[in-house]
């Protein structure tokens, strides 16, 4: 069974403006992707494309005014969006875990890290305090934290950024989840620590066979660590497929521009791509949302673009792509 | 841990020295010369000089400060020229009345304000939040003395539920023997039910006034602090970890405690002025009323002593707040 299958997910921000008119920001416009166990999916896109919102939507963590207005998120065949809140809450932190990008501020400042690990374990599993403690020490050790038994007594403020991120990963893994969502897990860490954390995540997936989704805007991370990738633009996935296929033959103009805009490519002196602001989510253009920025846009782009299958699971949503 | 705590407590000493300097200068800079007053209208120049020398007022100002400092350390705050009694004795007589009033007032104000603020924060813009927001705005805008007068007008004059605001106990009752100085507690300790009952009924209205005035900002501040904590990364992450709601609330409470207690600490020191007015309205006979009368009468030794006591009170309140923070905040370095 597919571990995670998101189908046509729509999330809107619904608010009232000063004239009491209802304003709708269409933040997610039909996001669909699948993730199999034992695979790593990289979700890339510019800021505001809806990467994190996809994660919070499917985990049921949206707060007003954001609201899922359509679609399904099947986790092992069960629709997370149709489940009662209590049932989703039981899954969160146990079967589906999240690692966020601000580890230091995401740890409870008034609880020692060992107690936080024990707390999350005992919130989901009926185990004794001593057993939970043993597992917590083991978990810290497996994440390469030196002297884990002593580290259990550390306060969050005493940790470095890299150390805090490891603790956060330990928290996420305490209950042996089957799906791990890492939302920009290495933002704000220096490069060597970034590599260590990502190596850790990859080894974990290879060893335990869980599925992982890494949200990032770093194409280098996707190229090095992911099996599949999905490129997001204005709340929709414009291109997806195996990493090798997408990098080898970037078919959507946005993907091509994104890859062309990495520092390495820019240094090669290739043609400069056209920049521009992301579209206004309150007034998305008809048809392809990228057409205002797209160098290849034509009149037909005002029509909704088709998903074109390019073989080997490689799909691009564009009028310009020939199958 | 104990090192940090000891250092914080030791900090009180230089703080007190500076406060003494200021209370000393307060009177020096007022430009009044007590010598003529003390020597009397018929005194000769020699007599005036004698009095001046006996008070060390012919010495340089730093010597005078030294003399004042020494006297304060010995518990001599001077004499009131209105009553001719030592200021310290008068302050000690009146302090329990004020402490009693503030203690119950703040206890009830915080006891109502903190839960109300938290409940409002858990459901922002809900009906409870809207009602408490309106009430706390009302509590903010009502003038203290007016609240006291209206209370008396309604509960004494119109309804007859409360005794007249004339002191801390019925005029025809003898106060119980002094143990703590609180008539209510002393009455209970002495099993003098009549005195305790009367002291209680006298306490109700002024305590209610202090409670209302102190609860308004506590509600508002607690709500703001709790809202900020609830929107923090660690609470959001706790939700993402699927922690039960009870545990998330407990986490929010613990993380709100330090700022709320700090706020109440600063509020208490500011509440001294409010309490003075309430004491005046209810003829409470506490420190606030005493200090206010002394200021109006120009009784400088009393004003000096009163300011000193208020400063000492603030120092102690802030010390208590700091010790609380040190014991609960791991970042303060003294948590167990």
DSSP B80-103: -TTT-SBHHHHHHHHHHHHHHHHH
Q: Order the strands of the A66-75 sheet from edge to edge.
A: A22-35, A4-16, A66-75, A78-79
Range A143-179 burial, b when 16+ CB lie within 10 A, else e: bebeebeebbebbbeebebbbbbbbbbbbbbbbebbb
Quote the CA–CA distance of A181 and A172 in Å, as a whole number: 9
pLDDT tens digit at each of 336 positions of chain B? 567 778 888 888 888 888 888 888 877 776 666 666 666 777 788 888 887 777 777 778 788 888 888 888 888 888 887 788 888 988 988 888 899 999 999 999 999 999 999 999 988 888 899 999 898 888 888 888 888 888 888 888 888 787 777 777 777 777 777 777 787 888 788 878 888 888 888 888 999 999 999 999 999 999 999 999 999 999 999 999 989 989 999 999 999 999 999 999 999 988 888 888 888 888 888 888 888 888 887 777 888 888 888 888 899 999 999 888 888 888 776 554
Give the strand pairing for A66-75 and A78-79. antiparallel
- CB contact (8 A) between residue A110 and residue B233: no
**Domain annotation covers residue A139:** no
Residues A308, A241 contacting (CB under 8 angstroms): no
Quote the CA–CA distance of B7 and B118 in Å, as a whole number: 34
Q: Which residue from B minimizes the CA distance to A61?
A: B240
Token pair in block for residue B268: 């208490």
**Domain annotation covers residue A150:** no
Does A97 lie at the interface with B, CB-CB under 8 angstroms? yes
Q: Which of A91, A107, A108 sits opposite B242 (nearest CB)?
A: A91
Helix (H, G, I), strand (E, B) or coil at A30: strand
- CB contact (8 A) between residue B233 and residue A98: no
Q: Which of B236, B242, B251 sits opposite A93 (nearest CB)?
A: B242
A61 contacts on B by Cβ (under 8 Å)? 236, 239-240
Closest by CA position to B256, among listed B113, B140, B160, B136: B113
**Domain annotation covers residue A41:** yes
**What is the per-residue pLDDT across A84-136, written as a single tens digit (0 to 9) for each?**
988 899 999 899 999 988 888 999 999 999 999 999 999 998 989 999 999 99
A95 contacts on B by Cβ (under 8 Å)? none
Q: Which of B234, B254, B329 sits opposite A106 (nearest CB)?
A: B234
Residues A239, A250 contacting (CB under 8 angstroms): yes
Q: Which of A102, A106, A109 sits opposite B255 (nearest CB)?
A: A109
Cα Rg of chain B, angstroms = 24
Residues B16, B312 contacting (CB under 8 angstroms): yes
Closest by CA position to B285, among listed B81, B130, B96, B94: B94
- CB contact (8 A) between residue B242 and residue A90: yes
**Domain annotation covers residue A121:** no
Does A59 lie at the interface with B, CB-CB under 8 angstroms? yes
Structural domain of residue A242, as residue ranges? Answer: 4-107+159-317
In this prediction, residue B326 carries a pLDDT of: 85
Enter the pTM of the model. 0.81
Most confident of A262-266, A268-272, B92-96: B92-96
Mean of the per-residue pLDDT values of chain A: 86
**Is the C-alpha dihedral spanning A109, A111, A115, A119 positive or negative?**
negative
A312: domain CATH number is 3.40.50.300
Quote the CA–CA distance of A49 and A54 in Å, as a whole number: 10
Query: How far apart are the CA of A105 and the nearest CA of chain B, in angstroms?
Result: 6
Does B329 lie at the interface with A, CB-CB under 8 angstroms? yes
Query: How far apart are the CA of A89 and the nearest CA of chain B, in angstroms?
Result: 5
Torsion angles phi and psi, residue A231, rounded to 5? -100, 125
**Domain annotation covers residue A195:** yes
**Domain annotation covers residue A142:** no
Its ipTM equals 0.87
**Domain annotation covers residue A39:** yes
Q: Which of B238, B328, B331 sits opposite A108 (nearest CB)?
A: B238
**Domain annotation covers residue A124:** no
**What is the per-residue pLDDT across A188-198, written as a single tens digit (0 to 9) for each?**
778 888 888 88
Quote the CA–CA distance of A46 and A273 in Å, as a whole number: 15
Does B336 lie at the interface with A, CB-CB under 8 angstroms? no
In this prediction, residue B184 carries a pLDDT of: 81
Answer whether residue A322 shows pLDDT above 80.
no
Does A94 lie at the interface with B, CB-CB under 8 angstroms? yes
Residues B300, B27 contacting (CB under 8 angstroms): yes
B239 contacts on A by Cβ (under 8 Å)? 61, 92
Residues B91, B84 contacting (CB under 8 angstroms): no
A123 contacts on B by Cβ (under 8 Å)? 241-244, 247
Q: Tell me the domains of chain B and their CATH numbers.
A: 93-299 (1.10.3720.10)
How many domains are contained in chain A? 1
């Amino acid at each position: 069974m597919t571990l995670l299958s998101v189908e046509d997910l729509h999330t809107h921000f619904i608010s009232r403006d000063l004239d009491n008119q209802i304003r709708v920001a269409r933040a997610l416009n039909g996001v669909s992707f699948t993730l199999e166990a034992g695979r790593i999916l990289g979700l890339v896109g510019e800021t505001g494309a809806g990467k994190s919102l996809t994660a919070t939507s499917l985990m049921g963590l949206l707060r007003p005014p954001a609201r899922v207005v359509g679609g399904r998120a099947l986790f092992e065949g069960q629709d997370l969006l149709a489940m009662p809140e209590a049932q989703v809450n039981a899954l969160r932190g146990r079967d589906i875990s999240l690692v966020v990008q601000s580890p230091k501020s995401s740890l409870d400042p008034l609880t020692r890290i060992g107690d936080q690990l024990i707390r999350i374990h005992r919130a989901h599993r009926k185990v004794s305090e001593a057993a939970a403690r043993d597992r917590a020490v083991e978990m810290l050790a497996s994440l390469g934290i030196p002297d884990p038994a002593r580290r259990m007594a550390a306060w969050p403020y005493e940790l470095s950024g890299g150390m805090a991120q490891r603790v956060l990963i330990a928290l996420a893994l305490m209950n042996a989840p089957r799906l791990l969502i890492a939302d920009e897990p290495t933002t704000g860490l220096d490069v060597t620590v970034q590599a260590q954390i990502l190596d850790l995540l990859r080894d974990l997936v290879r060893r335990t066979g869980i599925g992982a989704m890494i949200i990032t805007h770093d194409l280098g991370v996707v190229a090095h660590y992911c099996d599949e990738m999905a490129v997001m633009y204005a709340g929709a996935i414009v291109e997806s497929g195996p990493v090798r296929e997408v990098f080898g033959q970037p078919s959507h103009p946005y993907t091509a521009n994104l890859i062309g805009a990495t520092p390495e490519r820019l240094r090669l002196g290739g043609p400069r791509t056209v920049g521009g602001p992301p579209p206004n989510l309150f007034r998305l253009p008809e048809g392809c949302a990228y057409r205002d920025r797209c160098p290849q846009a034509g009149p037909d782009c005002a029509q909704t673009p088709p998903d074109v299958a390019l073989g080997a699971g490689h799909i691009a949503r564009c009028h310009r792509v020939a199958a | 841990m104990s090192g940090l705590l000891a250092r914080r407590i030791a900090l009180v000493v230089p703080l007190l020295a500076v406060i003494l300097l200021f209370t000393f200068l307060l009177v020096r800079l007022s430009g009044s010369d007590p010598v003529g007053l003390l020597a009397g209208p018929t005194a000769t120049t020699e007599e005036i000089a004698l009095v001046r020398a006996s008070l060390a007022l012919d010495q340089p100002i730093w010597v005078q400060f030294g003399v004042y400092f020494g006297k304060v350390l010995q518990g001599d705050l001077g004499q009131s020229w209105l009553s001719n009694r030592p200021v310290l004795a008068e302050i000690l007589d009146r302090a329990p009345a004020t402490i009693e009033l503030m203690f119950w007032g703040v206890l009830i104000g915080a006891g109502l304000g903190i839960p109300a603020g938290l409940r409002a924060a858990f459901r922002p813009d809900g009906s409870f939040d809207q009602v408490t927001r309106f009430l706390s705005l009302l509590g903010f805008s009502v003038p203290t003395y007016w609240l006291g007068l209206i209370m008396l007008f309604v509960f004494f004059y119109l309804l007859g539920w409360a005794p007249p605001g004339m002191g801390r106990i019925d005029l025809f009752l003898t106060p119980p023997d002094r143990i703590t100085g609180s008539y209510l507690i002393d009455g209970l300790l002495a099993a003098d039910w009549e005195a305790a009952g009367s002291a209680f009924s006298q306490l109700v209205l002024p305590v209610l006034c202090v409670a209302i005035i102190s609860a308004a900002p506590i509600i508002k501040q607690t709500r703001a602090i709790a809202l900020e904590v609830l929107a923090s990364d660690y609470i959001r992450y706790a939700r993402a970890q699927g922690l039960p709601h009870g545990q998330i609330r407990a986490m929010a409470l613990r993380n709100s405690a330090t700022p709320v207690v700090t706020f109440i600490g600063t509020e208490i020191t500011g509440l001294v002025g409010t309490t003075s007015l309430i004491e005046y309205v209810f003829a409470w006979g506490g420190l606030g009323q005493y200090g206010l009368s002394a200021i109006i009468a120009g009784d400088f030794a009393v004003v000096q002593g009163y300011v000193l006591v208020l400063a000492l009170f603030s120092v102690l309140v802030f010390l208590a707040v700091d010790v609380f923070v040190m014991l609960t905040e791991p970042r303060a370095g003294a948590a167990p």
